[in-house]
Structure 1
Amino acid sequence: MAKISINLATGSLQKEEIIVGIDLGTTNSLVAFINPEQNPQVINDTGKGLLVPSIVHFNGLGDAVVGNDAKSFLISDPSNTIFSVKRLLGRSYKDVADYKDTFSYKIIDDDTESLVKIQAGDKFYTPIELSGLILKELKDRAEHALKTPVNRAVITVPAYFNDSQRQATRDAGRLAGLDVLRIVNEPTAASLAYGIGLDPTQTKTIAVYDLGGGTFDVSILAIQNGIFEVLATNGNTFLGGDDFDRAIVHYWIEQNKINPEVLAADAGLMQTLRLKAEAAKVALSTQNIYNEKLETSNPALGEVWCSITRIKFEELIASKVQETIDACQNALTDAKLSISDIDEVVMVGGSTRTPYVKQQVATFFGLTPHDQINPDEVVALGAAIQADILAGNRSDILLLDVTPLSLGIETMGGLMDVIIPRNSKVPTKAGRQYTTSLDGQVNMKISVFQGERDLVSENRKLAEFDLKGIPSMPAGFPKVDINFMLNADGILTVQAIELRSGVKQEIDITPSYGLSDETVEQMLIDSITHAKSDVEQRMLIEARSEGEQLVYTAERFIEKNGFVLTDVEKTETLQYIAALKDALATAEKDNILKKADELNEFTRPFAERLMDIAVSQAMKGKSID
């Protein structure tokens, strides 16, 4: 039941503030709301259509236009017309180095922030600022159409967006004047739009296949009792319909024998070819051949024939489509499911209109995919439903997402101690207790990592901070709780507290730049490929750490309590310590463990002897009744 607000002073009904759902897409963006009939609806500002091209153009004065008004400048002023900015959100220059030449505008490295910036005219803009302009256009469109202020929103992102990219999206919303209530995974929003599982008696497992203009995600969702639980996600934020367009462009370049130097000097021609390729892709969804002649103003080129058959198009995109199918299999593996466990498949994203994509997905899953809802609108519609949930108007749905990579801290020897495992449900909280390794240690450095390898050197460092002011105590006495809290937006908060003193330190982690999904996938592959060697390395490091701690403890014992040993015992103890030190200098785990056991066995009676002395002194002069 929807909430009703009443002005207590006048007794009149107050109009509810509308919370919109926004699909901030790579190619197009949309904004939706729940209409008076309680149905999700994409906002259509009169004369502007449903889709807002995710394009920003800057004129010579630095003034910006967004959407369709900007799209026309892709050919006439390509260097000042920014498209596919979503690909750059939360990215470093290194991340996009292999792709920057596909953009007609200039991307530069901002050394001060480790993030990319885009040059337009004599000014420089961050991807967050540019995304903010697109979101502002959507906000203005919604306010114009609905005749009411719009200040709060739910924004969707690809399921594989990491912490930095999610935070960048939230920051862009703030720049647009929006209070971003929730960052929601696009596949999760799409499942809501289809309403699969809204019947609380239904139990289903579905696959959401989302292939947009620049990103791809597949999510495996379990739906039970109205709860949408993401079992696993996989994808690639650098794979989508844009890649199909590029494949066609490169094919035409080869067919027309166009000199790369001519293209490099004519950015407008490259954009013209890209737009023609997009038109060809759309046409080949309903016809078998696309054939057009392009008249160029470049005397070195003259006419360019833009011709391609559907068969050739499918041949060009086959490897990219297969990458998406491989990701589907990886997601199933992560979810510990087989293809037969999937009850339904949902298609999302404009690129799923390509017949070859539908065929391959249907063949892989052995099911006819759902594609009844306009694939361009489905995510925005789902975001509007999520906004309605957050407004308190729906209580029959609960969304649970997962984190794509494990999160943990560095422990002694450079080992990764996982606190939140990969594919844990979000939001989540987990923690562990640690202690000091040295006597009198008053500070503890906490380094947070993301990844699947046993060694932190092979994982990605997210942040580092110091817990200061730990009371000076013998090693092992302080008790430090380290808690990880991952919220629904995928933003991580790490808290460390020393329990005896109450000393506490906390940090919200927003990494300096993003992690590409090619890297995510490679990290997962590496964790499997190197599993055996990683385990062996971990066992060696653990043996060394234990051995080093034992040497430290034994030497401290002799230093402080040598009076309980005879000269012979002291000499032999030092010999055992030396033998363990020699073993520690090697990479032979078994030898380290053997020498550690020998030292332990030899010195055990000394600890018992010291305890007896302590008890005897404590009882001196006392009688037992």
Structure 2
Amino acid sequence: MPTIGIDLGTTNSCVAAFRNGRVEIIANDRGNRVTPSYVSFTMDERLVGEAAKEDVTSNYTNTLCQIKRLIGRTYDDPSVQADTKLWGFSVIDDDNKPKIPVIHSYKSNIFCPEQISAMVLEEMKNTAEAFLGETVTDAVITVPAYFNDAQRKATRDAGEIAGLNVIGMINEPTAAAVAYGLDRQCKSERNVLIFDLGGGTFDVTIVEIKGRKFFVKATGGDTHLGGEDFDNKLVEHFISEFKQQHGENISDNKRALNRLRVVCEEAKRKLSSSTQAKVQVDALQGGYDLRSGISRAKFENLNFDYFKRTLDTVKNTLTDSGIEKENIDDVVLVGGSTRIPKIREMLEKFFDYMELKRTINPDEAVAYGAAAYAFSLVTGKDTVMEEFVLQDVIPLSIGIENKSREMGVIIPRNTTIPTKKWNNRQTLKDNQEKMILKIFEGERALTKENHFLGAFTISGIPPAPRKEGKVRVLFEINASGILHVKAIEKITGNSSEITIARDKGRLSEREIKQMVREAEKFRQKDEELKQRSKAMNALEDFAYSVKDKMSQKYLTTRQKESLMSKVTEILHWLDINKKEPVEMSHLEAKKKELEQLWND
């Protein structure tokens, strides 16, 4: 059974598979090698990809995008609150979990981000199966290097809901480094900096590559920085301009915002190759049209702070790696937003006008590397993958809360994984019989400013004076970045453990099983719609073929009138029922009637 690599992106997604000695990027049913990460719900069907994106202006309240910006986050997260103001769809608070209400099949439905991401993943799975001609279950899914544990686990849950067995996860820039290294097959040792700026996230990773061996030295990034933010700046700019011109404030008009966002995204893309772009929207609000434009210089000025943040991250990651910028051999651009000229210009200047590497497709490189990694995990029996080695690092420090609520770091960021670290703890009170261990990740001194991962209790500590009760704690992180913590009391051997997987805000096993069942219902409904569409097309084709053949066959006037009447009736019936849920039995009956007339 084949394995696949999926790049689950904020804006676009991509799928690839390793076969016949090479990685193949798989095109979708429209022939495109990347698929928009959009899901749209209409009255009678669910759309994913291009069809969903095309629905965004007319069905904006039920067309979902940028869901990667919600996954693994809490509702009160400031970035979630900022994003929701600019989206056409709504996000509601469910026990501090962000959820999305939509209308589908005339019913109100509420989805969590994992379910929507699962729909995109399932589309990638179906695309791969159609290309490979086989059932696919095993997959490697990519995540931004700076995703925290909650975001990684939520992504894995999305894969499970989509019917995938997630055999591994790989950081996006690391996957791109694999693509670059396998493409070049470097014989000598090279220090490569991957600059990965996509639609919603940004990562910088420094990798030492030698042949087919990849050793990540350091990683840095921002899980909320990318092309969507550049679009937002343009949207804000034109909201202000429209208000100045016409006195109309469209900030609360979701339909107007959505229409404006579409043209702003188009303008941003055009500015990568032109110095000017028009921004025009008819009847945006109050009967007024937006007639304006934007220069590349103005666009760069609006987003300069964002551009500067990317360069600051490059500098910090170099510091963490201990490698001087003069010792970086290659700078590789990944992600669609690296097409922006100003970003390239700033990078070139920082690296003393080194030629930036654009030899790999910025939209496909991450899926390419994920597919190669997936193949290596399952079999790896291919000359191209001989001696393949990959060592990644954790992006954030992990530790235990100390008594003063400070962060006691156990595993520093940029530690190579998989890894194990032991830590000794002692009781803080006389006769203390249990110890609560609270696990956090982050770089701040106080735990309240870091991300809470989970907590567990070890009991049965023999009564003793303070500091004499001893507990050993093992922190273990696997190759996919999943953390397991175990505590052992030294004298009795009592132990307790936790796999950081289901803290508050994440899906329970029961919720995942329920969502898997719901996903199966969607699959069945999608298949029924597909079969219905196929049957309707077959009936329409047969009706037209009968109409065409009538002139080629000797028929009486009465036969011609009878046939023409039936053909006209069927074509009219099809026309009025194209968007209604027609029973397959009705379609079959109509076709049988016409076939009987024709055969007679």
If the length of structure 1 is used for normalisation, what is the TM-score? Answer: 0.75
Q: Does 1:285 align with 2:272?
A: yes
Cα shift readout 1:454-500 (whole Å, capped 9, x = no counterpart)? 44455443222110122334545443210001122222111001132
Query: Hey, what does 2:229 align to over in structure 1?
Result: 243
Q: Secondary structure at the match of 1:97?
A: helix
Q: Does 1:84 align with 2:76?
A: no
Higher radius of gyration, 1 or 2: 1
Contact 2:100 2:111 (8 Å CA) reproduced: yes
Contact 1:197 1:203 (8 Å CA) reproduced: no
Query: Hey, what does 1:102 align to over in structure 2?
Result: 86
Query: Hey, what does 2:300 align to over in structure 1?
Result: 314
**Structure 1 pair 46–81 and aligned structure 2 pair: CA distance change class (3 A):** closer
Query: Hey, what does 1:535 align to over in structure 2?
Result: none
Looking at structure 2, the residues matched to 279 and 458 of structure 1 have their Cα atoms a distance apart, in angstroms, of: 38
The unaligned stretches of length 5 or more in structure 1 are 1-16, 516-625
Give the deviation of 1:373 after TM superposition.
Answer: 2.0
Q: Secondary structure at the match of 1:75?
A: coil
Q: Secondary structure at the match of 1:232?
A: strand
Query: Hey, what does 1:368 align to over in structure 2?
Result: 355
Q: What is the one-letter code of the residue matched to 2:64?
A: I
Give the deviation of 1:110 after TM superposition.
Answer: 1.2
Residue correspondence of structure 1 range 206-217 to structure 2 within 5 A: 206-217=192-203
Give the deviation of 1:209 after TM superposition.
Answer: 0.4
Contact 2:397 2:411 (8 Å CA) reproduced: yes
Give the deviation of 1:322 after TM superposition.
Answer: 1.1
- Given candidates 28, 36, 39, the residue that maps to 1:45 is 28
Looking at structure 2, the residues matched to 459 and 25 of structure 1 have their Cα atoms a distance apart, in angstroms, of: 25
Contact 2:429 2:465 (8 Å CA) reproduced: yes
**Structure 1 pair 352–330 and aligned structure 2 pair: CA distance change class (3 A):** same
Residue correspondence of structure 1 range 27-46 to structure 2 within 5 A: 27-36=11-20, 38-46=21-29
**Structure 1 pair 199–65 and aligned structure 2 pair: CA distance change class (3 A):** closer
Contact 2:10 2:199 (8 Å CA) reproduced: yes
Q: What is the one-letter code of the residue matched to 2:489?
A: E
Greater Cα shift, 255-264 or 162-171: 255-264
Cα shift readout 1:41-69 (whole Å, capped 9, x = no counterpart)? 111134341111101111236x4211111
Q: Does 1:128 align with 2:101?
A: no
Cα shift readout 1:574-617 (whole Å, capped 9, x = no counterpart)? xxxxxxxxxxxxxxxxxxxxxxxxxxxxxxxxxxxxxxxxxxxx
Query: Hey, what does 1:19 align to over in structure 2?
Result: 3
- Given candidates 416, 419, 422, the residue that maps to 1:428 is 419
Cα shift readout 1:291-325 (whole Å, capped 9, x = no counterpart)? 25432274x24321141222222222222111111
Q: Secondary structure at the match of 2:82?
A: coil
Q: Does 1:253 align with 2:259?
A: no
Contact 1:174 1:180 (8 Å CA) reproduced: yes
If the length of structure 2 is used for normalisation, what is the TM-score? Answer: 0.78
Query: Hey, what does 1:64 align to over in structure 2?
Result: 46
**Structure 1 pair 18–81 and aligned structure 2 pair: CA distance change class (3 A):** same
Looking at structure 1, the residues matched to 188 and 26 of structure 2 have their Cα atoms a distance apart, in angstroms, of: 31
Contact 2:86 2:257 (8 Å CA) reproduced: no
Looking at structure 2, the residues matched to 303 and 244 of structure 1 have their Cα atoms a distance apart, in angstroms, of: 23
Q: Secondary structure at the match of 2:76?
A: helix
Give the deviation of 1:200 after TM superposition.
Answer: 7.1
Query: Hey, what does 2:314 align to over in structure 1?
Result: 328
Query: Hey, what does 1:555 align to over in structure 2?
Result: none
**Structure 1 pair 33–56 and aligned structure 2 pair: CA distance change class (3 A):** same
Q: Secondary structure at the match of 1:485?
A: strand
Give the deviation of 1:275 after TM superposition.
Answer: 1.4
Query: Hey, what does 2:527 align to over in structure 1?
Result: none
Contact 2:36 2:49 (8 Å CA) reproduced: yes
**Structure 1 pair 118–258 and aligned structure 2 pair: CA distance change class (3 A):** farther
Q: What is the one-letter code of the residue matched to 2:23?
A: P
Q: Secondary structure at the match of 1:296?
A: strand
Cα shift readout 1:232-289 (whole Å, capped 9, x = no counterpart)? 2221121111122222223333333366865245422222221111211222222222
Query: Hey, what does 1:578 align to over in structure 2?
Result: none
Looking at structure 1, the residues matched to 32 and 211 of structure 2 have their Cα atoms a distance apart, in angstroms, of: 37
Q: Does 1:484 align with 2:475?
A: yes
Contact 2:426 2:469 (8 Å CA) reproduced: yes
Looking at structure 2, the residues matched to 167 and 305 of structure 1 have their Cα atoms a distance apart, in angstroms, of: 45
Give the deviation of 1:442 after TM superposition.
Answer: 2.1
Q: Secondary structure at the match of 1:135?
A: helix
Equivalences, count: 494
Query: Hey, what does 1:531 align to over in structure 2?
Result: none
Greater Cα shift, 233-242 or 412-421: 412-421
Contact 2:201 2:223 (8 Å CA) reproduced: yes
Looking at structure 1, the residues matched to 287 and 320 of structure 2 have their Cα atoms a distance apart, in angstroms, of: 51
The unaligned stretches of length 5 or more in structure 2 are 507-600
Q: Secondary structure at the match of 1:118?
A: strand
Looking at structure 2, the residues matched to 294 and 452 of structure 1 have their Cα atoms a distance apart, in angstroms, of: 45
Q: Does 1:229 align with 2:215?
A: yes
Looking at structure 1, the residues matched to 22 and 292 of structure 2 have their Cα atoms a distance apart, in angstroms, of: 43
Give the deviation of 1:143 after TM superposition.
Answer: 0.8
Looking at structure 2, the residues matched to 283 and 413 of structure 1 have their Cα atoms a distance apart, in angstroms, of: 54
Q: What is the one-letter code of the residue matched to 1:56?
A: V
**Structure 1 pair 183–286 and aligned structure 2 pair: CA distance change class (3 A):** same
Contact 2:86 2:254 (8 Å CA) reproduced: no
Kindly report the root-mean-square deviation, in angstroms, between the aligned alpha carbons of the 2 structures: 2.3
Looking at structure 1, the residues matched to 336 and 390 of structure 2 have their Cα atoms a distance apart, in angstroms, of: 24
- Given candidates 176, 179, 203, the residue that maps to 1:193 is 179
Cα shift readout 1:174-218 (whole Å, capped 9, x = no counterpart)? 000000011100000001111269757421211110110111111
Looking at structure 1, the residues matched to 173 and 247 of structure 2 have their Cα atoms a distance apart, in angstroms, of: 39
- Given candidates 45, 55, 80, the residue that maps to 1:73 is 55
Give the deviation of 1:378 after TM superposition.
Answer: 0.9
Q: What is the one-letter code of the residue matched to 1:129?
A: Q
Query: Hey, what does 1:585 align to over in structure 2?
Result: none
Q: Secondary structure at the match of 1:400?
A: strand
Q: Secondary structure at the match of 1:446?
A: strand
Give the deviation of 1:109 after TM superposition.
Answer: 1.2
**Structure 1 pair 258–482 and aligned structure 2 pair: CA distance change class (3 A):** farther
Looking at structure 2, the residues matched to 88 and 343 of structure 1 have their Cα atoms a distance apart, in angstroms, of: 36
Looking at structure 2, the residues matched to 268 and 338 of structure 1 have their Cα atoms a distance apart, in angstroms, of: 49
